[in-house]
Chain A
Amino acid sequence: MALASELPAQSERWTTFANTLKKRAFRSPSDSFTSVFIFGLMLYMAWTLIDWAILSAVWRAEDVEHCANAGGACWSVIAARHRLILFGLYPYEEHWRSTLACLAIVATVVLSCLPRFWSTSRLVTLWIVGFGAYVVLMDGRLIGQPVVTTDQWGGLALTLFMFSSVVLLGMPLGLLLALARRSKLPVVRGAASLLIDFIRSLPLLTTLFAAAVVIPLLLPDWLNGDKIWRVIVGFALFFACYQAEVFRGGFQAIPKGQFEAGKALGLTPFQTLSRIVMPQVFRHALPSTINMVVVTFKETAIVIIIGFFDVLASANAAFGTVEWAPYYIEVYAFVGTIYWIFIFSLSQYGEYLKARMAVAKR
């Protein structure tokens, strides 16, 4: 019986689909021609891609001699070199630690997308725990494993490390800068505006290069730290300046009356800010913040230029030997797919949130 009652619904859905197709793809002869041509082209491209990547591909590392006359991709290079791409120069026996550490970061990002974690204390705890787990696993000192220093971290693990430390450092710094920019004190406001506008008008590469090369000239040795930390701080400053503008947009959406109402109720400025204003600011700023996080993840790839062994650098190394040199496309396709999956899912999530909030506002 249940089946019988579902049947009309099924066919109804089918008619709606057919109607949409009729309206949007086959309205007139020229319309139909365009549709058939474009969908034919897309099917052809998809088929070529599937044929190259799956049907005619060589998969196993041992079969590399078949690659030259196979018509498709040579995934042998990935089978043989994926550890180098994912973990860089990290000691081979310790790769399980690197894997767990990467999973910790991915889990942190995924969990922070769940509304259940959307309170300041939970988010902060989550990120500190996730990031802490990463560092403890990678370093190994605290869990009684052989110590691996930061200069041996590499590949995808390094990319995720840079990304998460930039977000973790940059987010509170961005909030601080946004608050400073709205301060009543002219000197504080002026300094924050100057810093934000200056960093925002420079290319990221300039900021990172300055952090890597110029800062050692300007600061006494004891303040310099490792190059990786300087670059992370520089990158976090860049993130913070953009994020401060995102927060500023959130602040502008709060009516002035709310501050006054807080004052009238006898709340201290800090209470008004933390209990009334900030929760709304975070809400308003959420879609743009996710966009900012996505952009940061993409931009992390440029640390290769200032000499870090990130996933792009290890990809270049993966086809850097005579044996694997012809299969650069496969290596880039592999790295590109990893990036694409991360970025696509995060940005789709951002779009979903934006749509959900638009409904709530109506």
Chain B
Amino acid sequence: MDAAALKLRRSRRDMLVQTLLVVFVVLVIWVAISTAHTNLTELNMTSGFGFLERATGWSYSFSLIDRSIDDSYSKTLLIGFLNTLFLGLICIVLSTILGFAIGTARDARQLGLNSLATVYIQIFRNLPLILQLVFWYAVLIHMPGPRQAFTMGEVAFLSNRGLMLPGFNVSPTVVLAMFAAVVLLAVVIFRQKSLQPVQKLLLWLVSGSGAMLLLAWIFAPADSSIFSIPAQQGLRFRGGIGVPIELVAMILAITLYGSAYIAEVVRGGLNEVPSGLTEAGKALGLSSRAIWFHVKVPMALRTIMPPLGNQWIFIMKATTLGVAIGFSDLFYIVSTSITQSGQTLELMGLLMLSFLLINYSLAQLVNFMNARLALKGH
């Protein structure tokens, strides 16, 4: 057989394999659709997204915005989505900060710091996240009641009702404005090239608190203080910001677990910085803090960023464990909606779409940061 004939036979075989695959996939989808159709007709269900406008009639543990049991499914799902984003972002920020601190300690020559960081990482990384979560939740619900609450200087309380923190005496809309102002300040300040990182951080902290105080002073009710400080009153607290125990347990568990992973990523990155660079820094008379800020971290960030992005995505996905302790994240809301309304396929579709969206945005952010970090000219 000559080469041309062999080639022809081969391309025919390739076509056959691919056609069979397409036929198989189409067949599976067709079977799925027709089975779903018969099953739904038997259950007397109408498919489609009409149910989104119906009232839910059930309540759940946590929401950032005002809610009631008469809310529509679409609003409840939106609240779940916001809760997931809120929890995920808090955990990402906290575990990144903690992870950098512990990773640096793990990289340190100082034996004490190094051992402490190693113990921390080995404990929290080698236990399943859900085990840690239910453990912290159990510890928190066994906390003493409000009358015997643990207190920090009479402004913050920890009891089995959750964590009570002092806050501003303003509406959620103003809080949102404060948040926007702080983010805006961060963007403006961190773009300044003439400032040192520590100066930027200090400037941001000072101007951020200033902006928040100013907004609180403008919008707080005239007859009361701009701060709202929790005070124990009978079996409950008045004033302040109440953080429910479900949220405290979620933040605690995910942050401890996530920071142990991020610490290993950071240590790996710092470890890969050539020792010649740090020695050059020392020879130039830089302090060890300056070496860390200006030599090690900028160099290490290039290795750290891609795996760090994966950890951020992992943290976002880990919020789904909220369902185990009754924190109303998106997965909790979706699974409750499925049991209540029976619109399984539509709700699962929305859930998957939301996570694809979240992960895609995070991946874009990481790509953007990678591009900014890349060495110029490479």
User: A and B bound?
Assistant: yes
B278 at the interface (CB under 8 A from A): no
A336 at the interface (CB under 8 A from B): yes
- On whether the beta carbons of B35 and A218 are closer than 8 Å, the reply is yes
Report Cα–Cα, A214/B111, bound state, in Å.
53
Among A35, A184, A201, A301, contact of B130 (Cβ-Cβ < 8 Å) = A301
Interface residues of A in 268-321 (CB under 8 A from B): 298-302, 304-305, 312, 316
- On whether the beta carbons of A42 and B119 are closer than 8 Å, the reply is yes
B112 at the interface (CB under 8 A from A): yes
In the complex, what's the smallest C-beta–C-beta distance from A283 to chain B, in angstroms?
A: 21
By a CB distance below 8 angstroms, the chain A residues around B135 are: 329, 332, 336
A217 at the interface (CB under 8 A from B): yes
Stretch at the interface among B18-26, B62-70, B236-244: B18-26
A206 at the interface (CB under 8 A from B): yes
- On whether the beta carbons of A217 and B344 are closer than 8 Å, the reply is yes
**B329-351 near A? 1/0 per residue, CB < 8 Å:** 00100010010000011001001
Interface residues of B in 153-174 (CB under 8 A from A): none
- On whether the beta carbons of A220 and B130 are closer than 8 Å, the reply is no
B131 at the interface (CB under 8 A from A): yes
Among A185, A206, A217, contact of B39 (Cβ-Cβ < 8 Å) = A217
Dominant SS among interface residues on chain A: helix
By a CB distance below 8 angstroms, the chain B residues around A203 are: 317-318, 320, 331, 355
A259 at the interface (CB under 8 A from B): no
By a CB distance below 8 angstroms, the chain B residues around A204 are: 317
For A221, the closest partner residue in chain B by CB is B35
B142 at the interface (CB under 8 A from A): yes
Interface residues of B in 349-372 (CB under 8 A from A): 351-352, 355-356, 359-360
By a CB distance below 8 angstroms, the chain B residues around A41 are: 116
Question: Most chain-A Cβ atoms within 10 A of its Cβ — which of B18, B128, B129, B351?
Answer: B128
- On whether the beta carbons of B355 and A201 are closer than 8 Å, the reply is yes
In the complex, what's the smallest C-beta–C-beta distance from A214 to chain B, in angstroms?
A: 5
In the complex, what's the smallest C-beta–C-beta distance from B249 to chain A, in angstroms?
A: 13
By a CB distance below 8 angstroms, the chain B residues around A267 are: none
With A35-B110, A218-B36 as known contacts, state yes or no: A340 contacts B127, CB within 8 Å.
Answer: yes
For A299, the closest partner residue in chain B by CB is B128
- On whether the beta carbons of A344 and B344 are closer than 8 Å, the reply is no
Report Cα–Cα, A302/B323, bound state, in Å.
11
Among B131, B324, B352, contact of A332 (Cβ-Cβ < 8 Å) = B131
Report Cα–Cα, A332/B139, bound state, in Å.
11
Report Cα–Cα, A304/B130, bound state, in Å.
9
B195 at the interface (CB under 8 A from A): no
Report Cα–Cα, A298/B314, bound state, in Å.
14
B277 at the interface (CB under 8 A from A): no
Interface range for A: 35 or more
For B29, the closest partner residue in chain A by CB is A218
A24 at the interface (CB under 8 A from B): yes
- On whether the beta carbons of A304 and B324 are closer than 8 Å, the reply is yes
- On whether the beta carbons of A42 and B115 are closer than 8 Å, the reply is yes
For B40, the closest partner residue in chain A by CB is A217
A14 at the interface (CB under 8 A from B): no
- On whether the beta carbons of A220 and B35 are closer than 8 Å, the reply is yes
- On whether the beta carbons of A214 and B131 are closer than 8 Å, the reply is no
Among A35, A298, A347, contact of B129 (Cβ-Cβ < 8 Å) = A298
- On whether the beta carbons of B138 and A218 are closer than 8 Å, the reply is no
By a CB distance below 8 angstroms, the chain B residues around A335 are: 131
**B273-291 near A? 1/0 per residue, CB < 8 Å:** 0000000000000000000
With A185-B14, A188-B21, A201-B355 as known contacts, state yes or no: A344 contacts B122, CB within 8 Å.
Answer: yes
- On whether the beta carbons of A206 and B331 are closer than 8 Å, the reply is yes
- On whether the beta carbons of B128 and A188 are closer than 8 Å, the reply is no
By a CB distance below 8 angstroms, the chain A residues around B335 are: 209
By a CB distance below 8 angstroms, the chain A residues around B3 are: none
In the complex, what's the smallest C-beta–C-beta distance from A312 to chain B, in angstroms?
A: 6
Report Cα–Cα, A339/B191, bound state, in Å.
46
In the complex, what's the smallest C-beta–C-beta distance from B272 to chain A, in angstroms?
A: 13
By a CB distance below 8 angstroms, the chain A residues around B111 are: 20-21, 24-25, 35
Report Cα–Cα, A204/B129, bound state, in Å.
13
By a CB distance below 8 angstroms, the chain A residues around B127 are: 298, 336, 339-340, 343
Report Cα–Cα, A203/B338, bound state, in Å.
18
- On whether the beta carbons of A332 and B138 are closer than 8 Å, the reply is yes
Spell out B's residues near A (CB within 8 Å).
Answer: 14, 17-18, 21-22, 25, 31-32, 35-36, 39-40, 109-116, 119, 122-123, 125-131, 134-135, 138-139, 142, 313, 317-318, 320-321, 323-324, 331, 335, 338, 344-345, 348, 351-352, 355-356, 359-360
Q: List 20 additional contacts besides A213-B348, A301-B129, A332-B134; criterion CB under 8 Å.
A: A31-B110, A35-B111, A38-B116, A39-B115, A41-B116, A186-B18, A201-B356, A203-B317, A203-B331, A204-B317, A206-B355, A209-B335, A209-B348, A217-B344, A302-B324, A312-B128, A312-B130, A336-B131, A343-B126, A347-B125
Interchain residue pairs with CB less than 8 A apart (30): A24-B109, A34-B112, A38-B113, A38-B115, A184-B14, A187-B18, A191-B25, A198-B356, A202-B352, A202-B355, A203-B317, A205-B323, A206-B355, A209-B331, A210-B348, A218-B31, A219-B31, A219-B32, A298-B127, A301-B130, A302-B321, A302-B324, A304-B324, A305-B130, A332-B134, A339-B127, A343-B127, A344-B122, A344-B126, A347-B125
